[in-house]
Amino acid sequence: MEVRRVLQLLADFTGINMVASDTVQGNITLRLKDVPWDQALDIIMKTKNLDKRRNGNVIWIAPVAELIKSEEEEAKAIAQSIKLSPIQTDYIQLSYAKSADVLKLLEDSRDSKGGESNRTAGSDSLALESLLSARGSAVSDSRTNTLIINDRQQNIDKIRRMIDLLDVAVKQVMVEARIVTASTDFSRELGIKWSAKKLGNSPVWGGDFQPSFDLGVDLATNTAGTFNFGLLKISDYMLNLELSALQADGHGEVLSAPKVLTGDKQKAYILRGTEIPYQTWSATEGLKTEFRAANLKLEVTPSITPDGKVQMALKIEKDTVGTLTSVGYLINTNELETNVLVDDGETVVLGGIFDDIKQNQYEKVPFFGDLPVVGALFKNNTRSSAQTELLIFVTPRIVNDSVSRNH
Spatial distance between the Cα atoms of 350 and 237, rounded to a whole number of angstroms? 20
In tens, the pLDDT along 368-392 reads 777 787 777 777 777 766 677 778 8
Judge whether 110 and 131 are in contact, CB under 8 Å: yes
- Taking the domains of the chain in order of start, what are their residue ranges? 3-83, 85-166, 173-406
Question: Which amino acid appears at position 64 of this protein?
Answer: V
Residues, the chain: 407
In tens, the pLDDT along 269-327 reads 888 888 888 777 777 877 788 888 888 888 999 999 989 899 999 888 888 777 777 76
The answer to whether residue 404 scores a pLDDT higher than 60 is no
Q: Which CATH number fits domain 85-166: 3.40.50.2000, 3.30.1370.120, 2.60.120.10, 3.40.50.300?
A: 3.30.1370.120
CATH number of the domain at 3-83, please?
Answer: 3.55.50.30
SS3 letters across 293-361: EEEEEEEEEEEECCCCCEEEEEEEEEEEEEEEECCEEEEEEEEEEEEEEECCCCEEEEEEEEEEEEEEE
Judge whether 266 and 172 are in contact, CB under 8 Å: no
First to last CA, the chain: 81
Spatial distance between the Cα atoms of 226 and 352, rounded to a whole number of angstroms? 5
For position 231, what pLDDT does the model report?
59
Half-sphere exposure of 142 (CA within 13 A, CB side): 3
pTM: 0.56
Spatial distance between the Cα atoms of 327 and 292, rounded to a whole number of angstroms? 12
